[in-house]
């Protein structure tokens, strides 16, 4: 059994320092690992990343994160990443985290993800340079996610993104903005790789529960949705 | 007079793009001389900042601030996915 805590969209800044810490200090009582689904900062500054790094440092469980769009706002994603890594946070972008917990192996593959829309209602890499770049960015990220997930050989495989892989967990958001909230290409990567759970954030007005076309559970853990410091999901390795 | 739709769209872009707010996760509805802002933000200061920025760019409007502060306590239970 593995207990997975997860939260996204905490949007920390100096004005929030220490705000999550009372709940985080007890995360070991609730969970075995903590996933952060992006938008950890407000403006993506290194100063805000330092607040995030301090907030999630020295917890009782490993912390695994992806960045979100807010974490790119200051155009310093590499410095933000390093600031988090320096405090022991595992930051994924096309990469994986593996741990053995309670005799069960857990693998997490993470990417920021991007928009583009969902099957039948999505953009194409065609036309203006800007449109091609927009969709190609999603294609590239989805390919990275699929590669990282396919490299995992663990009892439980989790996909961690900021953007949504399915429209289910966007219910409550205006349908017109779905193309800015996620992409079916992420869901396709999840379904192609024997993944057991997909966790994302980004959609503050969405809903927590969803499922990919291939039957993989999806959870939107944006903090305004889960309304706590983190949500906890209990999983077990599938019977051989 | 600026139409309510354009005004609401411009206010929404303002609170997303103004670094004092940087809030993409709020809704703004304009009706007559009232603007209602709703959604969740991380702390009370940011709730106040939204109201201040909106008042600054549209002083003629009465702001109904229905924004909530997201709770950040320990979770109430867990979901069993076994």
A229 chain-B contacts, CB cut-off 8 A: 72-75
pTM: 0.96
Q: Which of A30, A43, A197 sits opposite B75 (nearest CB)?
A: A30
b/e code B11-44 from CB counts within 10 Å (16+ = b): bbebbeebeebbbbbbebebeeeebbbebbbbbe
Which residue of chain B is at minimal alpha-carbon distance from A206? B25
Which residue, among B27, B28, B49, B70, would best test binding to A if mutated, counting the most A CBs under 10 Å from its CB?
B70
User: Quick check: A232 and B42 CB within 8 A?
Assistant: no
State how far Cα A145 lies from the chain centre.
Answer: 11
Helix (H) or strand (E) holding B51: helix B44-57
Q: What is the DSSP letter of A228?
A: S
Partners of A127 in beta bridges:
none
Q: Would you list which residues of chain A are within 8 Å, Cβ to Cβ, of chain B?
A: 1, 3, 5, 9-12, 15-16, 19-20, 22-23, 26, 30, 42-43, 70, 73, 197, 204-205, 217, 222-224, 226-236
CATH of domain B4-69: 3.30.1340.30
Region A69-75: what's the mean pLDDT?
A: 98
> Taking the domains of chain B in order of start, what are their residue ranges?
4-69
Q: Which of A11, A22, A217 sits opposite B81 (nearest CB)?
A: A217
* ipTM score of complex: 0.91
List, in order, residues 6 or more apart from A82 with CB less than 8 Å away: none
User: Quick check: A12 and B39 CB within 8 A?
Assistant: no
Which residue of chain A is at minimal alpha-carbon distance from B77? A232
Backbone angles phi, psi at A177, to 5 degrees: -100, 5
pLDDT tens-digit map of A139-175: 999 999 999 999 999 999 999 999 999 999 999 999 9
Cα first-last separation, chain B:
58
A19 chain-B contacts, CB cut-off 8 A: 42-43, 72
pLDDT tens-digit map of B9-65: 999 999 999 999 999 989 999 999 999 999 999 999 999 999 999 999 999 999 999
């Amino acid at each position: 059994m593995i207990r997975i805590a997860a939260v996204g969209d905490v949007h920390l800044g100096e004005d929030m320092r220490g705000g999550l810490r009372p709940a985080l200090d007890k995360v070991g009582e609730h969970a075995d690992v903590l996933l952060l689904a992006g938008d950890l900062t407000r403006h993506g500054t290194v100063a805000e990343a330092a607040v995030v790094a301090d907030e999630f440092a020295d917890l009782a469980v490993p912390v695994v994160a992806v960045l979100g769009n807010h974490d790119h706002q200051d155009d310093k994603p590499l410095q933000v990443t390093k600031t988090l890594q320096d405090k022991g946070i595992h930051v994924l972008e096309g990469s994986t985290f593996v741990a053995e917990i309670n005799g069960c192996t857990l693998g997490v593959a993470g990417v920021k993800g991007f928009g583009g829309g969902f099957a039948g209602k999505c953009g194409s890499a065609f036309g203006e340079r800007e449109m091609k770049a927009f969709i190609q960015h999603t294609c590239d990220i989805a390919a990275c996610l699929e590669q990282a997930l396919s490299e995992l050989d663990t009892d439980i495989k989790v996909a961690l993104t900021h953007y949504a892989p399915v429209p289910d967990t966007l219910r409550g958001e205006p349908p017109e903005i779905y193309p800015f909230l996620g992409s079916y290409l992420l869901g396709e990567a999840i379904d192609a790789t024997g993944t057991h759970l997909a966790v994302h954030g980004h959609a503050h007005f969405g809903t927590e529960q969803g499922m990919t076309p291939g039957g993989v559970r999806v959870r939107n853990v944006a903090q305004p949705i889960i309304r706590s410091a983190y949500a906890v999901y209990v999983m077990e390795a599938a019977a051989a | 007079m600026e139409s309510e739709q354009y005004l609401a769209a411009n206010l929404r872009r303002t609170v997303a793009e103004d670094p004092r707010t940087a809030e993409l996760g709020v809704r703004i509805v304009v009706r007559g001389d009232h603007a209602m802002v709703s959604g969740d933000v991380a702390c009370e200061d940011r709730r106040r900042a939204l109201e201040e920025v909106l008042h600054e760019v549209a002083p003629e409007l009465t702001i109904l601030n229905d924004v909530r502060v997201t709770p950040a306590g320990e979770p109430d239970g867990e979901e069993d996915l076994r």
